[in-house]
A and B are shown apart, each in its own frame.
Chain A
Amino acid sequence: MIARKRIATCAVSALVMVQSLFCTTLQGRHTFEVGDKMPEFSATTLDGQVFTYKHNQNKALMVVFLSPKQKRSAQAAADIQKIVRQLETTAERLETVIAVDDPNVVDFQSKQNGPAKNIHILLDSEYKLWGKFGIIATPTVVISDTNDKVICVKAGYGYDFVPMIRAYVNQALGLAQKTAPENAGRVKTVSNDTIEARLKSHLQMAKMLEEKGRFESAIAEIQKARELDPNSAEAALELGELFCRAGRSKAAIDIIESLRVTSRLDKSRLLLISGWAKRQMGELDTAEKLLLEATTLDPKSARALFELGKIYQAKQQNDKAMESYHKALTLIFG
């Protein structure tokens, strides 16, 4: 028992020694690394309140060092406020401190409609906080998570300031995001000349033309889409339906013959096209079978029900035809 106590005492002493050595080193360098604890501090805000940051409050902290004399600092301040504003209610778990070396910060606030929630502007004209954090340039942003661990030290106001800071704030608050913070600065641009985008444009235009009853032009658009991506199931299915609409049943059958689809709705559309085309070709029994299968896979296919109605009408099964038409109309008009 005594031996255990001794071991424990030695361990604690060793830990204290290591910690004091570590802290001395930190103090000497006036800095810290990512992964270290955020330094605790206390400072006066511009409106005379004392802001104190202590560990174990279960809050994330963002400290932003700015110099109001610098244009880039003013822009950074605006961005920071925007980022915090976008957090909405989650912002309550984040304390933001803007430490300025000059009290002339009117611009920072007037550019926004009042500062966002939980933003405290501290005056650090004697560079005390600056020294404690080892800051050498502005803007510098230091972010710690709810466990008080520093997760980001970012100096400068570069092109990637907004995505990087937002990503680290999200990480600090434990919010889910698509990109890892270290990759948030990777540049992505919009391009509407990718094959996917061009294909989509042709399909959309075909739909507009179809609505105007200009089937041949719509068919030409979808054929352009298919030239871009011959394997596009969506384009093939659209084309098949259009051929049916235009009364070109043989062409519709040709298009879907070699088509392989996986989703339930696509399978239903494929059956619809086959059934629709067969109905036009006078193969009523085959068409009926295909269309019934289509409505099983997609009971909301108004066109399949309408085509079934036509088949029953042609077979003079008027009650069934009426029922099918009624179902189709109900789906469309509610």
Chain B
Amino acid sequence: MLDRVYKSAVLLICVLISNGFAVEKPTSLQKTCVTEECHAEYGKKAHVHGPVSLGDCTACHKPLIPEEHTWQFERKGRDLCEYCHLEQAAKKIVHEPLKTGDCMQCHDPHSSDNKFLIPEKTIAALCENCHKVTEGLSFLHGPTAVGECTVCHESHSSDHAGLLIAEHAELCFSCHVIMQDELKEYDFVHEPVKNDCIGCHDPHGAGNSKMVKNLAPFLCYTCHKDIQKIAENSTYQHSIVGDIDGCMHCHTPHASTVKFLLQKDAKSLCLTCHDKPQNLGQDEVLPAFTAELEGKKFLHGPVAENDCSGCHATHGSEYFRLLAKEYPPQFYAPFRKENYELCFGCHSEDLVLTKETSDLTDFRNGDLNLHYLHVNKERRGRTCRSCHATHASNLPKHIRESVPYGTWSLPIGFNKKSSGGSCTPGCHLPKDYDRKNPVDYSAWPAESK
């Protein structure tokens, strides 16, 4: 109780003292309000509003009852400022404080120590009062880091969303000028790069140095849902795809001179890992791919063209060894077209559907198509792998020197000749074939025909 009495007494004394020093409010119209006695501080800051510096307070204030020193604004809402500051709100998107006529949320109408009469030392500090865009970010975009929001944003109104000073990509390229120049030389440009940089990047900053909204593969999956489905649901998955930043091992995010936005040629990318044996788990080891090619003279087309994705689905597959389509893993298979979808991706299916041909293949005796003869059998059709090494061999047409048959390495003994060839395999008796002068097989035992 005593404490309250004490506080009230102190307050009363303070009021009496301050009244004693206070200047009497004028009770008649004055030339200006900014004098040494009254409102002096308005004229003493580094930046003074035009009418204040001219002492023309009536530009904005209209005296109401001079005797009572009351006044009202000359105009209402944003009309007060727009009377002089024309067209600040003329564009499509208007900053909310301006829209509601609350210019004083960002500007001191009399004077300020800061440029543009803003009440904060920097533009960023001012914007941050409402827009907390940098909270918790470890890496800031250049303009954000230096507090220059108006490098990208208009403060009053704009024709572009987010009060940007230009359309998204155009704005980004105004600083990232090298990239824009470079892009013209590239055939393959990532779609967002053309007009939606903020599809991937946070323009204010992020928790990572590239300022991407999320790390790959999660960021990539926001658009590439088909790849996500393959990567996550395939029977055979490519482990690197799901790794953090895994996509970036093979792809470049902006533009490449080659398809699929690859970082390097496809084989080099694959050999980043497959130049050494890869542990597939459950005691299974995938041999080093390079070992298969070492010293080999004849390469399968896609290998020769450095295009592993010619046969392999790089993100995930329903077929073993991440093959793109069906391909029989065994030596014998009853012939069904569907079993060879992988090979038919490049080679004509007529190769094994046509019994006679004069042009389709060199592996024929006269016009008898020997591919058809070997593969197209109801029961024990030979699969492609029976005779061809998948990646490379030392024989023409990447024909195998031998093929594993149970525990035995079955030799093929292929010998190429000018108009045909011969085989001395473990499968049948040695045989020749000749495109020009067909070998007569009629005398051969039925088993060998």
Residues of A with Cβ closer than 8 Å to B? 25, 28-30, 67, 69-72, 101, 126-128, 130-132, 134, 136-138, 154-163, 185-192, 194, 196-197, 200-202, 204-205, 208-209, 212-214, 217, 220-221
A28 surroundings in chain B (CB, below 8 A): 418-419, 435-436
The 4 closest A-B pairs by CB, nearest first: A131-B359, A158-B307, A189-B252, A137-B346
Contact with B174, one of A29, A134, A208 (Cβ below 8 angstroms): A208
Q: Tell whether B222 is near chain A: CB-to-CB under 8 Å.
A: no
A30 and B362: CB pair below 8 A?
yes
A209 and B179: CB pair below 8 A?
no
Contact with A189, one of B263, B358, B362 (Cβ below 8 angstroms): B263
Q: Tell whether B183 is near chain A: CB-to-CB under 8 Å.
A: yes
Known: A25-B418, A189-B254. Contact between A196 and B347, CB under 8 A?
A: no
B191 surroundings in chain A (CB, below 8 A): none
Cα of A128 to Cα of B349 in the assembled complex, Å:
16
B256 and A188: CB pair below 8 A?
yes
Min Cβ gap A85→B in Å is: 13
Q: Tell whether B45 is near chain A: CB-to-CB under 8 Å.
A: no
A25 surroundings in chain B (CB, below 8 A): 418
**19 more CB-based (< 8 A) A-B contacts, given A70-B344, A126-B359:** A127-B350, A158-B266, A158-B310, A159-B262, A159-B307, A160-B258, A162-B258, A186-B257, A187-B264, A188-B256, A189-B254, A189-B257, A192-B178, A202-B142, A205-B143, A205-B148, A209-B151, A217-B146, A220-B146
Min Cβ gap A196→B in Å is: 6
Query: Chain B: how many interface residues by the 8 Å CB criterion?
Result: 56
Which of B21-29, B280-288, B298-306 faces chain A? Answer: B298-306
Chain B window 352-371, contacts with chain A (Cβ cutoff 8 Å), 1 for yes, 0 for no: 00000111111000000000
B361 and A214: CB pair below 8 A?
no
B359 and A162: CB pair below 8 A?
no
Cα of A30 to Cα of B302 in the assembled complex, Å:
21
A187 and B176: CB pair below 8 A?
no
A138 and B176: CB pair below 8 A?
no
Query: How many interface contacts (CB-CB < 8 Å) are there between A and B?
Result: 157
Q: Tell whether B135 is near chain A: CB-to-CB under 8 Å.
A: no
Chain B window 407-430, contacts with chain A (Cβ cutoff 8 Å), 1 for yes, 0 for no: 000000000001100000000000
B177 and A200: CB pair below 8 A?
yes
Contact with B346, one of A138, A194, A209 (Cβ below 8 angstroms): A138
A191 and B174: CB pair below 8 A?
no
Known: A72-B346, A136-B347, A155-B305. Contact between A201 and B177, CB under 8 A?
A: yes
Cα of A137 to Cα of B300 in the assembled complex, Å:
11
B310 surroundings in chain A (CB, below 8 A): 156-158
Q: Tell whether B348 is near chain A: CB-to-CB under 8 Å.
A: yes
B305 and A131: CB pair below 8 A?
no
